[in-house]
Amino acid sequence: MAHKSPITTHVLDTTHGVAARGVKVRLEQLSQTASSSSQSWEVLADGETNEDGRCTTLLPGTAADGPHQLRPGVYRLEFHVKEYFEKLERSSFFPFVHVVFEVPEDPNPHYHIPLLLSPYSYSTYRGT
C-alpha cells in the first residue's frame, strides 16, 4: 500500500485561476559534512504537478514501515516555473521559485507547502 509523501505541494496559477499542471518540482535537504563547515543541497526527489496542480509523491513511504519519516533539518522545494509559463507561451520573471523551510526536532507527520503563482509574483504558506 502506497502512502502519501510527508511533504506535498499544490501549485495554483492565479493569473488564469487554474491548477498549474506539469510544473517540475525538486525536493532537497541542506546537508553539512561532518568533517567541515561546508553545506550543500542534497537532492531527495523530483516530481511534477498533476492535472490538479498537486505533487504528493515526493517521498513515498513503504507498506512495511508506514509513511516516510522526515529527518529534522532545512528543506527546499524548487519549482521550475519558467518552463511552465513557456508551455503557455507566456514570459515569466522568475525562472525558478525556491521555498525553504525547516522541519523541527519533533517533526509533524505532514508538511503541505502550496505555491500561488503568476508570471511576475508568487506567494506561499504552510498549508494543511
In a domain, 114, yes or no: yes
In a domain, 1, yes or no: no
Cell numbers standing for residue 26: 525538486
pLDDT value at position 34?
A: 63
In a domain, 39, yes or no: yes
> How many Cβ atoms from other residues are within 10 Å of residue 16's Cβ?
12
The more confident residue out of 69 and 124 is 124
The more confident residue out of 118 and 63 is 118
In a domain, 103, yes or no: yes
In a domain, 14, yes or no: yes
pLDDT tier for residue 1 given thresholds of 50, 70 and 90 = very low
In a domain, 41, yes or no: yes
Q: What is the pLDDT of residues 28-75, one digit of tens each?
A: 999 976 666 788 999 999 999 999 999 998 986 544 455 566 888 999
Alpha helices in the chain (DSSP H): 81-87
- Domain containing 31: what range? 7-124
Buried b (16+ CB within 10 A) or exposed e, 50-72: eeebbbbebbebeeeeebbebee
The more confident residue out of 114 and 128 is 114
pLDDT value at position 59?
A: 85
The arithmetic mean of pLDDT across residues 92-114, rounded, is 91
In a domain, 2, yes or no: no
Q: What is the pLDDT of residues 76-97, one digit of tens each?
A: 999 999 999 999 999 999 999 9
Number of separate domains in the chain: 1
Q: What DSSP state is assigned to residue 35?
A: T
CATH assignment of the domain containing 52: 2.60.40.180
